[in-house]
Structure 1
Amino acid sequence: MSPRPAPLIQRAGTLAVAVLAVVAASSAAIASVRSADVPKAAAAANEQLRVVTANLAFRGPDAVRNDWNTIGPNADIVFVQEAKNVRLRDILGDAWAVRQDTSSDDRQGSAVVIRKSAVKSVGDLLLVKGTDASSCNNAEEGGIMTRWIARVDVQLNNGRWIRAASLHMPPPRCQYGLGSPFAVMADNVVAFANRSDPLLVLGADWNKVVDADPNEIGARTGLKPRGPDTGPRIDGFYVSPAITTNDLHYLAQTGSDHRPVQMTIGVPAP
């Protein structure tokens, strides 16, 4: 007979329990660290960009250069309208990727400008027709040139591609029912948005209250309207539902009769 085996077994059992306790505590600590890292990773993956939409009111290089003193420091992507009297790449420095077609007055009007340091890469410009030139049945106020949607695909630093597009809807005198230039362009904006695969940000002079759209662009595309609560309320954005938006406000008055509108967007990683 030997009285020792039982104490040895007990000691081994006690040791095993202690080892398991240490392993469990270590696992819990690792899990805690990992869970603490998750919000940081998620936050890093959500790319923040400042977007500005600005109607330049058909003014020349000196006027727009002055405007950029207000617009430039507050923007990563700028959606430009009424720029037919200025070649933006001639007045903006190398810090900006300018996407503007200067081959004709009508094509030059809408453009997209991107701060190079804020993104990973910038694609080429593609113009999509919004509506043909028209007299708008108004001899006194005059007609409009062909309107275009200026589209650029941009890869952000978190790897996500977004589609940035600038456009200028026709004025109120061109809104007179089905088949009018305004209705035609609204239909073409809807078609453009619905066939865009990347997340979409539209910046525009909508020539209507942004979030009171008679043509139901938001309802027909699922895009979220974002416009000011005061002032004319016709300059603003439509964005894909997955993009977060905050801090929408006017910038200081420039020389244009339109105050630039700024907003911060949050774009999730792919």
Structure 2
Amino acid sequence: MSHRPTSLLKRFGTLAGASLAGVVASSAAIASVQSASAPKAAAAANEPLRVVTANLAFRGPDAVRNDWNTIGPEADIVFVQEAKNVRLRDILGDGWVVRQDTSSEDRQGSAVVIRKSAVKSIGELQLVKGTDASDCNSPEGGIMTRWIARVDVQLNNHRWLRAASLHMPPARCQNGLGSPYAVMADNAVAFAKRSEPLLVLGADWNKVVDADPNEIGARTGLKPRGPDTGSRIDGFYVSPAITTNNLHLLPQTGSDHRPVQMTIGVPAP
């Protein structure tokens, strides 16, 4: 009889130890599950978007409507250039939000078009001057005033993204400091440096995208993304935090520029 209390204490200690071990094992299992699910949660927060840049080659509504049969199914955001001959909102369906200033030909040229279902909200268009009109001292002709067409969009992961479409001047307008191309490159750099949201520039750069004589990428930290084949002058510059993949040319449209598509991944705020 004198040994029973000791025996009971030992049994209690054994049970308590087993219970504690179970709690520890359970906590470890929960931590393991949480650890395993963390990358998936992070991946889910990286919002994917298909972006397309497309030079419409100054063609009218019927031609652009046909182009959209190729562009539309592949895009969530479209960066448009050479659109002065078409009012995009007149030909695109209700599934698209068009941000285009149609008050003058020069302002109408660059635009941003967003698929409604791809984003949470869409801001208004703002135009930033790229360069003034110029004859470029060239018998081939000059250029109208060029603008950077900018729209802020809030994605479904709540991150705000700045999407901007621009059309750099042609090579005949790049002849050193103060030339229209150099001026617009400087203004594009200043615009990018002022941008607080993450930024995607889609453009006809009129130069090989990743061989930049004006060092837009180096001066801003933006990543150049352009095709490996063709004229290689249409493409993107993106903020370093944005992932990029699957960059490729879409099938030829009626334009002399093939649209360029890429998938971006935008991290949550």
Tell me, in whole angstroms, the C-alpha distance in 2 between the residues paired with 1:51 and 1:37: 29
Match of 1:264 in 2: 263
Q: Deviations over 1:123-148 (max 9, x none)?
A: 0000000000000001x211000000
Match of 1:98 in 2: 98
Match of 1:213 in 2: 212
CA shift for structure 1 position 63: 0.1
Q: Does 1:52 align with 2:52?
A: yes
| Secondary structure at the counterpart of residue 186 of structure 2 | helix
Q: TM-score of the superposition, structure 1-length normalised?
A: 0.98
Match of 1:228 in 2: 227
- Is the deviation greater in 26-35 or in 149-158? 26-35
- The gaps in structure 1 that reach 5 residues or longer are none
Counterpart amino acid of residue 128 in structure 1: V
Across the aligned residues of Structure 1 and Structure 2, the Cα RMSD in angstroms comes to 0.8
Counterpart amino acid of residue 222 in structure 2: L
Q: TM-score of the superposition, structure 2-length normalised?
A: 0.99
Counterpart amino acid of residue 71 in structure 1: I
Tell me, in whole angstroms, the C-alpha distance in 2 between the residues paired with 1:98 and 1:226: 24
Match of 1:150 in 2: 149
Tell me, in whole angstroms, the C-alpha distance in 2 between the residues paired with 1:260 and 1:40: 32
Q: Does 1:10 align with 2:25?
A: no
CA shift for structure 1 position 12: 1.2
- Is the deviation greater in 34-43 or in 85-94? 34-43
Tell me, in whole angstroms, the C-alpha distance in 2 between the residues paired with 1:178 and 1:40: 49
Tell me, in whole angstroms, the C-alpha distance in 2 between the residues paired with 1:34 and 1:200: 32
| Secondary structure at the counterpart of residue 125 of structure 2 | strand
Tell me, in whole angstroms, the C-alpha distance in 2 between the residues paired with 1:226 and 1:35: 34
Counterpart amino acid of residue 97 in structure 1: V
Counterpart amino acid of residue 213 in structure 2: P
CA shift for structure 1 position 116: 0.3
Q: Does 1:238 align with 2:249?
A: no
Match of 1:181 in 2: 180
- Is the deviation greater in 4-13 or in 239-248? 4-13
Match of 2:24 in 1: 24
Tell me, in whole angstroms, the C-alpha distance in 1 between the residues paired with 2:197 and 2:263: 18
Q: Deviations over 1:221-240 (max 9, x none)?
A: 00000000111000000000
Report sequence identity in percent: 87
- Kindly report structure 1 stretches of 4+ aligned residues shifted beyond 3 Å: none
Match of 1:166 in 2: 165
Match of 1:42 in 2: 42
The aligned length equals: 269
Tell me, in whole angstroms, the C-alpha distance in 2 between the residues paired with 1:240 and 1:39: 22
Match of 1:118 in 2: 118
